[in-house]
Amino acid sequence: MYSMETETSNQNIEIPFQNLFLTKGFVTGKNEPWRYVLGIIIAAVGYFVFQSIIMFPLINAALENGVLMNEILQNPNIIFSPEKTGINKSVLLAIMMGMFVFTLLFFWLAIKFIQQKPLNSVITGYDRIRWNRYFFAFSVWGLLLIGLTVVSYLISPQDMVLQFNPSAFIVLVLVSVIFIPIQTATEEILFRGYLMQGLGIGLKNGIFPLIITSILFGLMHGTNPEAQAHGFLIMMPYYILFGAFLGMLTLLDEGAELAMGIHCANNLLSSLLVCSKNSVLQTDAIFYTSVENPSGEFLIWIIMALVCFIILRKKYQLNNWSLILR
């Protein structure tokens, strides 16, 4: 432990962390447990407020398109299917991403007025957001995804149908570039930022917040179409390990910029490059694949994560594991 003086107090306080990111959460704003609980509730309210606004028009569109109410009750995700609702894929994508715009807005209001924290305090342990890290991580993960897509097409062209439609793709690019960075930033700010710091304050270390937020991140994605199609137990290890990978980078780098860049590249390029029957984002991507192999894809993801980590570790000297353990 070490001591430092906060901006709001002339008294020295004992800090239980070596990590600048966790420390920033500790010394910034008001951090009583009830404030964190209320902050999460308010963010969730933003999500469900928008969902309630769009739900009835989507249900009505599905019903007019021949879907039965029993089908919707059995599988609520059906209202987000372009084929079932008859809504343009990019329009539906924008509607889905709107939930995260509302979530982020409500969350920002919560931490501003309830906890009196600036938004960047749950993004980085430094004075300013390190955008160079964000874009470098985005580039690394993006190149890995593009390389994987090209290799997959060359090896098994029969499994990947080229469905490139220039006009539809341009609209998709515009929608994706506007909304997906907001969606991924919202998830990173809440899980790798807000919850990681809040749990760190309570547990006085980084390792248990890392484990807890990774599990919660996995559970949040448990209702995704691919989880329902392939099985909760098959997809959950992927979701949890992805969360753990991003959380580990956040603690080692003392900020969420690397995690935000990777997450954004993953979702943005996935929406643009390849779509499949059970993809959570149904888009006018360049390719459509008829083959889904979650076990093989998980193994490939592990290799990609290792390569990405080696590159980031070397560039940013991510060697201090005590930043996670203490």
**Distance of alpha carbon 213 from alpha carbon 191, whole angstroms:** 6
* pLDDT tens, the chain, 326 aa long: 333 444 444 346 778 788 999 999 999 999 999 999 999 999 999 999 999 999 999 999 999 999 999 988 888 888 888 889 999 999 999 999 999 999 999 999 999 999 999 999 999 999 999 999 999 999 999 999 999 999 999 998 888 999 999 999 999 999 999 999 999 999 999 999 999 999 999 998 889 999 999 999 999 998 888 888 888 888 999 999 999 999 999 999 999 999 999 999 999 999 999 999 888 888 999 999 988 888 899 999 999 999 999 999 999 999 999 888 76
HSE-CB at 300 with a 13 A cutoff on CA atoms is: 13
**Distance of alpha carbon 161 from alpha carbon 159, whole angstroms:** 7
What's this model's pTM, rounded to 2 decimal places?
A: 0.92
Tokens encoding 227: 């989880």
For the chain, give every domain's residue range: 2-325
